[in-house]
Structure formats: structure tokens, C-alpha cells
Amino acid sequence: MEFFTALYIEYSLRGIDIETYLILPDYEACQIAIRDNEDMYKYFYADSDVNMYCVRTNTLSRSIKPKLRPSTQSAAHQ
């Protein structure tokens, strides 16, 4: 089972603290987003570093779906 993960982003812009979340389908996607955006401060015009980290949720994004077994009647006709 996989759970939604929030990518938490915080930075300061002209002295104003800004916090936001992006919802991603799983923890791995969040980690990839952080690695791929290490230079995010350039795009946000942040005063200094942009802090990013992943926050796990308890909300399922994907679950294991069991496969239906063939009925005994249809298996006997094969």
C-alpha cells in the first residue's frame, strides 16, 4: 500500500515567511522532487535557503487490489 506524502516547502521572501505543501502520490516521489529541486531558491527569489522535507500522511494513494479467482464452475469447463 502507498500513502500520499506532502512535500513541505518553507522559505522567506523579502522578510515574509512562506510555507506551502505539495501533495505527491508517495514518499519516493517526494524524495525525488527534493533532489531534483535543490536549487529552488533561485526560482522563488528566496532570501536564503528553501527548506523542503517530506511529511507522510495516513491517506492511501494506492492499495493492493486482490485478483479475483476463477469460479470453480468456469474452471471445470476448461
Q: How far is CA 46 from the centre of its chain?
A: 23
Question: Does residue 40 contact residue 52 with C-beta atoms inside 8 Å?
Answer: yes
Confidence of residue 78 (pLDDT cuts 50, 70, 90): low
Q: What is the mean pLDDT of residues 6-22?
A: 94
Q: What is the mean pLDDT of residues 69-77?
A: 65
Amino acid at 53: Y
Amino acid at 7: L
How many residues in the chain? 78
Global pTM exceeds 0.85 = no
Q: What is the mean pLDDT of residues 31-52?
A: 88
Confidence of residue 73 (pLDDT cuts 50, 70, 90): low
E strands of 1-78, at which residues? 2-13, 16-24, 51-62
